[in-house]
Amino acid sequence: MTTAQMWSVAASVAAIDLLFAVLLTRWIRPPWPLGLPAALLALGTLCFAALFTWAFRTFWDNCYGGVLPGWFRTVAPLVGGVLGSLGWGMWWVARRISDRWCVPVFLSLGALESVPGHINAIYGRGLLSHCVPVLGITPLSAMVFGLFEFALYWSVILAWAGLVARGSDVSRGA
């Protein structure tokens, strides 16, 4: 992948994120589904654990194995699960900032969640000089893509959690 391609993919994912943000803001609004925080916790944990497991198994040899110790591969589901469990806290913060803009705030927090890990991978571990798929791309393009990538993950998780929460609210008679 080249830097130009990374910028192009980032722009495409940003457009998808914007569409998700508009749709989710119209669909998930007060009164909030009662089960939404629990669904975000469960689904965020499950999805990120699965994502990290898949990524580390699929890209270990040509990417992550060059920048991480071997034992890290075995704890990838746990690391992903911890990252995903932050969804509950992000929702809590977003609710306190603004009921009207809760969904965009939540998705923005989800995007920002990518920053520490990507900074560590890029600057602390040399990901862009050791990971074959992204060799030589600029750090800025990788960081910007990472923001939109994580916003997309959290958009999908929020949509799924909204469905689960609304279903559980209906079954409880709420």
Structure confidence at residue 26 (pLDDT)? 94
- Average pLDDT for residues 147-151, to the nearest whole number? 98
Q: Does 22 map to a domain?
A: yes
Domain that holds residue 118: 3-168
**Position 152 pLDDT exceeds 60:** yes
Q: Does 174 map to a domain?
A: no
Half-sphere exposure of residue 122: CA atoms within 13 angstroms, side-chain side: 18
Q: Does 15 map to a domain?
A: yes
Q: Does 45 map to a domain?
A: yes
Which residue type sits at 105?
V
Q: Long-range pairs for 77-80 at CB < 8 Å and ≥24 separation?
A: 77/49, 77/50, 77/52, 77/53, 78/49, 79/52, 80/48, 80/49, 80/50, 80/51, 80/52, 80/53
- Residue-wise pLDDT for 40-83, tens only, equals 999 999 999 999 999 999 999 999 998 999 999 999 999 999 99
Q: What percentage of the chain reaches a pLDDT higher than 90?
A: 86
Q: How confident is the model at residue 32 (pLDDT cuts 50, 70, 90)?
A: confident
Measuring CA to CA, which residue among 45, 72, 67 is closest to residue 57? 72
- Residue-wise pLDDT for 99-142, tens only, equals 899 999 999 999 999 999 999 999 999 999 999 899 989 999 99
**Position 174 pLDDT exceeds 60:** no
Number of domains in the chain: 1
| 5-27 as b/e: b if 16+ CB within 10 A | ebbeebeebbeebeebbeebbee
Q: Does 173 map to a domain?
A: no
